[in-house]
């Protein structure tokens, strides 16, 4: 009977919301009692969950109340053997569906993501198309979704936390199947969200500043004429690289900081964005062409309009998500699987720690000057901080003149990290390197036979150090994505608990970037310096993440806000977080710099994953001391997608916490002066 359900494709009626309780409580009780009487109390919990959850998603367009009752009675599977057969079929077919839809999406977005010809309007239209947008609608219409909900019910985060320690791997995989249908979102809303995030991604990918065209008050240009950097990544990394320039580095950092503030305030002249034909003094905000001052218009709050459009797109989905009625809840409890309050407390515990002042004092001493706001990106604990940007660029451009050179070197990188030759080839055969239009990213496969994509910027004259550093980070992602797809026992457990865990893998790779190109740091205090670097990086990104979190709270409190109102709110929130956790450290109030991150604009509420990833990375890194990196990487990441805290306990013996990092800082400060 079940096989026929795949071919019954009624279209759902318009304007039905998932909040409509079409199936009465009496009917739910009647069906539940009948099934429990038929199959026994041993299956009572699964029956109760399956029937009630199916009822919550059933609409008038799906059939009458009587038809609902008949469906449940006819399609509940009690036999363990038959249930296992269903599980295997779903696992196989969802890998096929997700894998092919993912492959289609990757291909459609290539013009926007890969370096190449000028983008045309049609590229953005095709890239915004979401091939899987109608899958949920179709599977509710043909009753596949109901069959899954009935037989593989959903467990809340609290239930997973309470029960997960006693579940075996198969039970975890069944629970992940139950996560598929917790809401019933119309296809047009899924497509709308894809449209808006794609537009925002294109906006950010094309947001370049020509640093060679920046002028100071003496009409001097401090940067190479051809230096073009994307915001915020390229600008931030240029600030970091200039700690090694003892002559003009500070002047360059201050100039970039002025650029960032103009972007946040939207006072930046729109004509300097991605335009090599104008000179600009970011401090005075004056424009010049052929040495003559010209008039300019500010960017018309575009940055905040894209953020607002993303909010409106996800808010429209809220009414169809009864278990997680806001995007904030879906992000933290469904996606991250760490409650928002717990994440906030993790951040506050580090931001408020006495170690912040102690490390800041150390940085001030090392710099020989008072801290300035951009010193949230202080990079002096890394080996590269003492190496000139020119030398690093020369080295990486010579080693990686094009994408083929990067692709060819991937197995060698893994062997340097302790992977056996056969395993290194096995992994890298499933990773494809591409030259990126944007700053760079990784995009994993979702079915065996497909490849993970590693994207980074590669110039015509080769890959500079910034591109290389990003490439190593993204390589960490793609190695994780490959291991957690190909080396996992159940496809439904492929991946990691949340994005923080893949970020942790990327950070573990990224911190080894100099070693991998032959710049060895034999400093006996290296580990202590890396601890301080992790801490200061966490201090910076946790403030940025709190701004992101608080902005989304504000949006839900002000759903009718305009882009100008949102801009003022973001700036106000950024100042508030700065004043609470940074002003005393840096000696200045009302700084807005915590609002510069591009993720806020094109990746809704992605930022909190980064600092959680820093904490995870530190705990894993401590676990790896005295062990082979590759062996531990494969052991730890072979767990797949169980809930975060259970994953961490199996990986390192403890849950996610800021305390291990704070303890590490205390030890480091005894040594590093």
Burial letters 225-235, b for 16+ CB under 10 A, else e: eebbbbbbbbb
Contacts of 70 (CB under 8 A, 6+ apart): none
Same-domain status, 534 and 628: yes
Its sign, for the CA torsion 108, 114, 116, 117, is: positive
Residue span of the structural domain in which 236 resides: 203-303
pTM metric for this prediction: 0.85
Q: Name residues whose C-beta falls within 8 Å of residue 193's C-beta, 6 or more positions apart in sequence.
A: 310, 313, 314, 317
Mean pLDDT of 87-108: 96
* Length of the chain counted residue by residue: 673
pLDDT attached to residue 119: 85
Q: Return the pLDDT at 124.
A: 86
CA atoms of 35 and 17, how far apart (whole Å): 28
Task: Give the pairing type, strands 286-289 and 292-294.
Answer: antiparallel
Give CA–CA dist 477/165, Å, rounded: 27
- Does the pLDDT of residue 312 top 70, yes or no? yes
pLDDT digits (tens, 9 = 90+) for 216-239: 999 999 999 999 999 999 999 999
Do both 344 and 472 map to the same domain? no
Q: Does a structural domain hold residue 507?
A: no
Considering the domain boundaries, does residue 455 fall inside one? yes
- Tell me the Cα Rg of the chain: 26
Query: How far is the CA of 298 from the CAs of 212, 257, 262, 283, 568, in angstroms?
Result: 20, 18, 9, 14, 16
Q: How many CB atoms lie within 10 A of CB 384?
A: 21
Average pLDDT rounded to a whole number, residues 167-179: 97
In a domain, 329, yes or no: yes
d(CA 175, CA 642) in angstroms, rounded, equals 9
Q: Has residue 5 got a pLDDT over 70?
A: no
Give the integer Cα–Cα distance in Å for 334 and 330. 5
Where residue 535 falls among pLDDT bands split at 50, 70, 90? very high
146 and 252 assigned to the same domain: no
What average pLDDT is seen over the chain? Answer: 93
Rounded-to-integer distance, Cα 307 and Cα 310, Å? 5
526-557 and 563-581 are packed helices; what angle lies between their axes, rounded to 10 degrees? Answer: 140
Average pLDDT over residues 535-541: 97
Contact 490, 169 (CB under 8 A): yes
Q: Are 502 and 480 in contact (CB under 8 A)?
A: yes
| Residue 384: predicted pLDDT | 64
What residues contact residue 68 under an 8 Å CB cut-off, 6+ apart? 23, 27, 31, 54, 55, 58, 62
Contacts (Cβ under 8 Å, ≥6 apart) of 619: 648, 651, 652, 654, 656, 657, 660
Residues 400, 360 share a domain: no
- Residue 555: both structure tokens together: 């949006």
Contacts of 599 (CB under 8 A, 6+ apart): 548, 606, 607
The band of 389, judged by pLDDT with boundaries at 50, 70 and 90, is confident
* 395 and 442 together in one domain: yes
Mean pLDDT value of segment 646-667: 96
CA 486 from chain center: how many Å?
21
- HSE-CB of 450 using CA atoms within 13 angstroms: 23
Which of 3-7, 286-290, 382-386 is predicted with the least confidence, judged by mean pLDDT?
3-7
Confidence class for position 385, pLDDT limits 50, 70, 90: low
Report, as an integer, the average pLDDT of 514-518: 92
Give residue 20's pLDDT: 56
Task: List pLDDT tens digits, range 415-433.
Answer: 999 999 999 999 999 999 9
> Do 569 and 459 fall within a single domain?
no
* Predicted confidence (pLDDT) at residue 480 exceeds the cutoff of 70: yes
Number of domains, the chain? 4
In a domain, 191, yes or no: no
431 within domain boundaries: yes
Q: Which of 128, 150, 181 is the last residue of a domain?
A: 181
Number of helical (H) and strand (E) elements in the chain, helices listed first: 31, 8
Looking at the structure, tell me whether residues 25 and 140 fall in a common domain: yes
Residue 490 clears pLDDT 90, i.e. is over it: yes
Same-domain pairing of 331 and 457: no
472 pLDDT higher than 90: yes
Residue-wise DSSP of 413-482: HHHHTT--HHHHHHHHTTEEEEEBSSSEEEE--SSBTB-EEEEE--BTTB--HHHHHHHHHHHHHHHHHH
Instruction: Say yes or no: 237 and 167 in one domain.
Output: no
| 527, 656: one domain | yes
| Block residue for tokens 């990486």 | 396
Do 427 and 298 lie in a common domain? no
Shared domain for 405 and 482, answered yes or no, is yes
Q: For 316-373, write each residue's pLDDT tens digit.
A: 999 998 889 999 999 999 999 999 999 999 999 999 999 999 999 999 999 999 999 9
Does 189 reside within a domain? no
Q: Would 513 be classed as within a structural domain?
A: no
What is the residue-wise DSSP string for 624-645?
HTTS-HHHHHHHHHTT-SS-HH
Provide the pLDDT for residue 11.
35
The pLDDT assigned to 654 comes to 94
- pLDDT of 596 over the 90 cut: yes
Residue 15: per-residue pLDDT:
42
Task: Note whether residue 447 is domain-resident.
Answer: yes
């Amino acid at each position: 009977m079940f096989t026929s359900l795949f071919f019954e494709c009624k279209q759902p009626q318009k304007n039905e919301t998932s909040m409509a309780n079409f199936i009465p409580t009496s009917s739910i009780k009647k069906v539940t009692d009948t099934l429990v009487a038929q199959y026994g109390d041993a299956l009572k919990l699964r029956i109760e969950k399956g029937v009630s959850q199916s009822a919550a998603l059933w609409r008038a367009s799906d059939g009458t109340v009587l038809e609902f009752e008949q469906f449940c009675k006819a399609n509940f599977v009690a036999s363990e053997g038959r249930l296992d057969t269903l599980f295997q079929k779903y696992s196989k077919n969802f890998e096929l569906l997700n894998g092919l839809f993912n492959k289609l999406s990757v291909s459609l977005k290539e013009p926007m993501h890969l370096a190449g010809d000028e983008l045309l309007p049609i590229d953005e239209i095709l890239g915004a198309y979401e091939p899987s947008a109608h899958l949920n609608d179709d599977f509710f219409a043909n009753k596949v979704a109901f069959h899954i909900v009935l037989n593989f019910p959903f467990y809340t985060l609290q239930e997973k936390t309470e029960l997960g320690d006693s579940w075996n791997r198969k039970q975890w995989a069944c629970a992940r199947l139950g996560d598929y249908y917790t809401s019933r979102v119309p296809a047009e809303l899924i497509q709308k969200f894809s449209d808006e995030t794609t537009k925002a991604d294109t906006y950010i990918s094309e947001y370049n500043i020509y640093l060679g065209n920046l002028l100071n008050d003496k009409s001097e240009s401090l940067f190479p004429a051809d230096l073009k950097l994307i915001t915020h990544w390229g600008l931030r990394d240029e600030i970091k690289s200039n700690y090694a320039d003892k002559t003009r580095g500070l002047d360059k950092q201050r100039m970039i900081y002025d650029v960032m503030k103009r972007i946040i305030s939207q006072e930046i002249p729109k004509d300097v964005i991605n335009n090599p034909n104008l000179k600009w003094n970011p401090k005075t905000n004056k424009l010049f062409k052929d040495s003559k001052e010209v008039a300019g218009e500010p960017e018309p709050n575009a940055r905040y309009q894209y953020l607002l459009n993303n909010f409106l797109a996800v808010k429209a989905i809220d009414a169809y998500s009864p278990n997680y009625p806001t995007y904030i809840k879906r992000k933290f409890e469904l996606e991250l699987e760490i409650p928002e309050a717990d994440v906030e407390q993790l951040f506050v515990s580090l931001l408020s720690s006495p170690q912040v002042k102690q490390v800041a004092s150390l940085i001030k001493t090392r710099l020989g000057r008072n801290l300035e706001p951009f010193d949230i990106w202080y990079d002096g604990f890394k080996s590269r901080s003492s190496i000139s940007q020119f030398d690093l660029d020369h080295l990486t451009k010579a080693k990686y003149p094009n994408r083929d050179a990067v692709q060819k070197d991937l197995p060698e990188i893994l062997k340097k990290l302790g992977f056996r030759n056969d395993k290194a080839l096995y992994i890298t055969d499933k990773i494809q390197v591409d030259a990126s239009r944007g700053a760079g990213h990784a995009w994993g496969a979702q079915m065996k036979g497909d490849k993970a994509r590693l994207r980074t910027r590669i110039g015509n004259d080769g890959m500079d150090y910034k591109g290389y550093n990003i490439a190593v980070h993204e390589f960490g992602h793609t190695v994780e994505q490959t291991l957690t797809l190909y080396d996992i026992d159940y496809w439904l457990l492929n991946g990691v608990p949340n994005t923080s865990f893949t970020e942790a893998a990327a950070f573990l790779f990224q911190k080894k970037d100099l070693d991998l190109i032959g710049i060895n740091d034999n400093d006996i205090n290296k580990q202590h310096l890396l601890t301080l670097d992790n801490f200061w990086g966490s201090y910076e990104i946790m403030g940025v993440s709190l701004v992101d979190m608080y902005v989304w709270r504000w949006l839900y409190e002000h759903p009718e806000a305009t882009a100008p109102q949102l801009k003022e709110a973001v700036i106000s929130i950024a100042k508030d977080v700065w004043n609470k956790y940074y002003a005393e450290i840096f000696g200045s109030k009302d700084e807005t710099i915590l609002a510069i991150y591009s993720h806020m604009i094109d990746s809704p509420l992605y930022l909190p994953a980064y600092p959680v990833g820093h904490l995870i990375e530190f705990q894993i890194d401590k676990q790896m001391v005295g062990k082979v990196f590759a062996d531990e990487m494969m052991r730890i990441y072979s767990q797949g997608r169980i809930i975060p805290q259970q994953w961490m306990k199996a990986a390192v013996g403890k849950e996610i916490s800021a305390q291990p990092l704070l303890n590490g800082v205390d030890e480091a400060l005894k040594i590093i002066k």
